[in-house]
Amino acid sequence: MEIDKLEESIRKAVEKYGEDVVEWLKRMVKVEEELEKKSNGQWHDWEWHHVMIRPHILRELAFLGLIRITYKSRSSTYYELVDREGIKTIINKYEEYKKSESTELVQPKERESIIPEDLFDIISGFDDIKFVFRKALASKNPVHILLVGPPACAKTLFLLEIARLEGAFYVLGGSATKAGLISALFDLQPRYVLIDELDKMGADDFTALLSLMETGIVKETKYGRTRELKLKAWVFAAANRTDRIPPELLSRFMIFNIPPYSDKQLEKVIVDVLVKREKKDKEFARAVADAVIYKLRSRDVRDAIKIARLCETPEEIERIVRIWKKYRGGVF
């Protein structure tokens, strides 16, 4: 059984019966391992009195997919765990979670962030928006900024530049999950939360993000328990469109609409990125930019970075682009 499905089944059982469920599962694991040891691996299934859990509860746990019936007669019913090792893994996660859990509001110490002089220097134009970002980064309290525009504009570059700063956490909205986003906020306690493709985030992620931006509080409920984190964080995001983003979340941002780069502007951006960030020769960088824009027909600076990291000569650039075009399908 998949761990995620198993964990969801345990969560439902905890909602119904409380935290006793975890103790019941630990008891089942222990009984199975003891029976297996005594029988030299011949059998490990058990009856309700072995684990001291009433049959009607065991039937419910079987319905949820945590245990299964291995034998049934008029007088006896034998059970076994569906996935003993998986359940042990989840129990260990639960125990670790309880150790880290705090009933008090966690409030991390504020960290000073040093802003390098060359921040945003790979971005061509948009000096006025750079000014706003610098003011936001220097502000005493969070100011959140959302950049909206089509592919091949500077919005992602702004985020990648801020990702260089200490205390920055970068995530793609399409690959985020509520659990993953919240866990990262608890574990990393970032000063800057950078979200690319904000319009591709799910509803639960929007809810968690709104709570952070509105109250500065991150809340997580797990295994029937809740923990909270007071986090002073700046949220900087990028999106292709805003119609998929809840209005109440949009209202928390300063929103700037960014026009796309022309081919010539994009070429300059790619060259600057490869020379200043990837330490590539200027002529080599120009060759990569030409290949990405005119042969690969891509508007994504990250594609240029990938090719530059793979290649050392113009011939290799040509070969990589040919291969990529051949197998890219409908990606571009």
User: What pLDDT score was predicted for residue 280?
Assistant: 96
What percentage of the chain has pLDDT greater than the value 90?
66
Q: Kindly report the average pLDDT of the chain as a whole number.
A: 89
Q: Round to whole Å and give the CA distance between 1 and 239.
A: 37
Provide the sign of the torsion angle of the four alpha carbons 152, 156, 160, 161, taken in this order. Answer: positive
Confidence of residue 110 (pLDDT cuts 50, 70, 90): low
Handedness of CA 293, 297, 303, 306 (dihedral sign): negative
Q: Is 167 helix (H, G, I), strand (E, B) or coil?
A: coil
79: Cβ–Cβ under 8 A, 6 or more apart, which residues?
A: 28, 45, 46, 47, 48, 58, 62, 67, 68, 69, 70
Q: Which residue has the higher pLDDT, 110 or 130?
A: 130
Task: State the Cα angle at 91 between 85 and 93, rounded to 5°.
Answer: 105
Confidence of residue 173 (pLDDT cuts 50, 70, 90): confident
Amino acid of residue 76: S
pLDDT tens string 62-97 = 999 999 999 999 889 999 999 999 999 988 888 777
pLDDT level of residue 310 (50, 70, 90 thresholds): very high
pLDDT digits (tens, 9 = 90+) for 18-54: 878 989 999 999 999 999 999 998 899 999 999 999 8
